[in-house]
Amino acid sequence: MQKVLGLIKKNFPEAAETVKWGNITYLLNGKNFVWVLFYKNHIDFGFFIGAKLKSRLLEGTGINLRHIKIGNKEDIDEKEFERLLKEAVKLI
């Protein structure tokens, strides 16, 4: 979990961390950016504009939202996460 949050803070130190809907949510320029949702056996790392992003890691079928299911830290492809974060910033 710390690895995921560290990627956000490393790449976007200006992102504001808050809690919305009971989840850790990051904002950029006052706009929803990404969220982290905790389950018993995994974490969902989500993008509010995920439907506009392309990645084999993204799951979901909503109008805008997409997430990455993380079971353990080996599931974290740092280069792909950073690419997605940077692409998402360009779109918000």
- pLDDT tens-digit readout, 10-60: 999 999 999 998 889 999 999 999 999 989 999 999 999 999 999 999 999
What does the alpha-carbon distance between residue 29 and residue 51 come to, in Å, rounded to a whole number? 20
Give the pair of three-digit tokens for residue 19.
Answer: 């809690």
For the chain, how big is the Rg over CA atoms in Å? Answer: 12
Going from N- to C-terminal start, the domains of the chain cover 2-91
The neighbouring-strand residues paired with 75 are none
pTM: 0.89
State the Cα–Cα distance between residues 51 and 87, nearest whole angstrom. 12
CATH, range 2-91: 3.90.1150.200
